[in-house]
Amino acid sequence: MSDSENSDIESGSEIQENSENSGENGEKNDTSEDENGNVNGGDEKSEVSWKDLGLNDVLCEACNELKWKSPSKIQREAIPLALQGKDVIGLAETGSGKTAAFALPILQSLMETPQSLFALVLTPTRELADQIGDQFKALGSGIGLKVAVVVGGMDMTAQSLQLAKRPHIIIATPGRLLDHMENTKGFDLDRIKYLVMDEADRILNMDFEVELDKILKEIPRERRTFLFSATMTSKVRKLQRACLRDPVKVEVSSKYQTVDKLQQYYVFVPSKFKDIYLVHILNDLAGNSFMIFCSTCNNTLRTALMLRELGLAAVPLHGQMSQNKRLAALNKFKAKSRSILIATDVASRGLDIPHVDIVLNFDIPTHSKDYIHRVGRTARAGRSGKAVTFVTQYDVELYQRIEHLIGKQLPLYECDKDEVMVLQERVGEAQRNAKVALKEIEDRKSGGRKKKGGADSDDDTEQFVGARKRIKSSKGAGRPSKAGKFKKMKRK
């Protein structure tokens, strides 16, 4: 690495503020070590500062600028071990501060021995990669840190140009990284000093094992490896044996649990009336921001179209959208220009959106553990939050598994059936219009025709007006809008 490249990493500069990422910190706890060398969280509170963990003044100042008052449990336990040069396995629930637990030791090591292509972070989803990239940039903004985020759905040529600039940190999804390793001239990972696998259990569940094997063969064996996961599955144990050397396990939660300030409910609904109950609850809890989880991409888009027919500011987020559209949807929700984000489980893990008030499990998760991750999108960093799970006559067994997993029975969310069914006619009309709109989107995509603005311009449903225009025009002028009628009905 040239002197000019080395000079990019320097100490003592002011660190840029990025308070949005503060949601992963704040808890204090003692630690203890068992006979196996595993570190476990204690029960008594203690005052621990960033300086006490062994971080230098520049990084301590960075944490203070980000309004991180004190380290979280996973950070208190993992950072000192990482600074000692140990391989670390971190097991912690969602929202516990795992990103900073590996980012801070990597940045301190980079400041001591600057070089390009210093660390590689592998993560399962594009959104999580972008979020990790933002946190690295915030922590390293005062030391000239260069970060490249390499994910699918984006232009490979632009990413190749980024990699040609020899960034210090690469954050990538396994599939797209392997594409660059095989096809981008001059790009290799021969000098990587740190490898991080974040959400390792999900990387393996998404069948990235082949890509992981190829990547691990191409990076140096002499490296530090951090493996972070919510759960220790058999696949994660196998990965641990394959790529970590004498690791220390840090576990801050041995059982699945949700935070105390999260109010959890279930609502038992007939399957054919799910949409009506959804609209009733959105109306009943109006003024809050919502994340609604659906099981499929198609149902995500259908539900968004239906709610927009009712004048509700909903935006979808699912795996079949282009990366630009996914980021646009997420940014609109983060900026509070949309109050409802309807998503598949692509958004259930890792994303830190501090202002989510309510999580609605519109489709019950097939895997009970996904429930923990979904409801973890609210009640973050000491805030309160609410989660409501829809249970139909077909979901009873899945719901019982969730109650067994979290170790408690949830109270019923009370709905007045008569009030709910008042909405039946209006919601039925919205369902029909949404079905027409969805059919037109599918026809356009299958026919290969593209709207102005790109192949996925229909993914943000506020732009979809074709079917609605025809429906409205066929009903004649002078009638009140659907949103207006819906508001009048609510007042009654």
List pLDDT tens digits, range 131-160: 899 999 999 988 999 999 999 888 999 999
pLDDT at 281 > cutoff 60: yes
Say what the pTM is. Answer: 0.62
pLDDT at 114 > cutoff 90: yes
Integer Cα distance of 328 and 121 in angstroms: 23
List pLDDT tens digits, range 244-263: 888 999 987 645 566 677 89
Q: Residue 97: pLDDT band by 50, 70, 90 thresholds?
A: confident
pLDDT at 78 > cutoff 90: yes
pLDDT at 209 > cutoff 50: yes
Q: Residue 378: pLDDT band by 50, 70, 90 thresholds?
A: confident
Integer Cα distance of 193 and 116 in angstroms: 10
Across the chain, mean pLDDT equals 81
pLDDT at 444 > cutoff 50: yes
Integer Cα distance of 76 and 196 in angstroms: 18
pLDDT at 41 > cutoff 80: no
When pLDDT is averaged across residues 435-453 and rounded to a whole number, the result is 73
pLDDT at 73 > cutoff 60: yes
